[in-house]
Chain A
């Protein structure tokens, strides 16, 4: 699985959009970009994933650059409950890959 690079921490004002970047310059053509988050002391929570096209669900939007070397997770209206560590993971969606490799992630703090 390709390596990812994320900022260590970010702050965001409550009600504003939170934009979390991720670099994955060595991504392969068959690798997806996944985002998970972990709220303190809880299990990781799946947010969204994508291959090439931008994706949106009820939680967030995922913007992947055309060259696929970076992506941005967007929480459109951040709330205090969105304070968590956000993990960007790149992995194949077929074959023998089975473990999710969580890096150090980005600590997002939503400020009142």
Chain B
């Protein structure tokens, strides 16, 4: 039981490049989330998926898109990366929308 896994662990992009961050959970959770964490700051919600087939915007969705591929997987895409998107990205899942959230190890992204 791996919990929540994220790939890649680290990534360096040039401004304007695109990439997809992958997240998978093996806990049969319905809800999944993408957060970003900037130095010295708390986590901010980018997008979430309350259940398979649904996605909703969080606090800071601009510049991102998401796909809930199936119940296990929830990906985050940066179509045209900007330096302001340099951050650590965490994926989380919960049994339902209001339940305890379990986090992955994070993806560290640097946009030059």
Interface of A toward B, CB cutoff 8 Å: 34, 41-46, 49, 87, 91-95, 97-104
User: How many residues of B are counted as interface, with CB atoms below 8 angstroms from the partner's CB atoms?
Assistant: 23
Question: In the complex, are the beta carbons of A95 and B105 less than 8 A apart?
Answer: no
Chain B residues near A91 (CB, 8 Å)? 98
Encode B21-51 as 1/0 by CB contact (under 8 A) with A. 0000000000101000000001101001010
Check B101 for interface membership: any CB of A closer than 8 A. yes
Check B102 for interface membership: any CB of A closer than 8 A. yes
Distance, CA A42 to CA B92, complexed state (A): 13
B42's partner among A41, A97, A98, A102 (CB-CB below 8 A) is: A102
A97's partner among B98, B100, B102 (CB-CB below 8 A) is: B98
8 sampled A-B residue pairs with Cβ under 8 A: A43-B105, A45-B103, A98-B45, A98-B97, A98-B98, A100-B45, A102-B42, A102-B43
Chain B residues near A92 (CB, 8 Å)? 98
Distance, CA A55 to CA B36, complexed state (A): 30
Encode B5-31 as 1/0 by CB contact (under 8 A) with A. 000000000000000000000000001
Question: In the complex, are the beta carbons of A46 and B102 less than 8 A apart?
Answer: yes
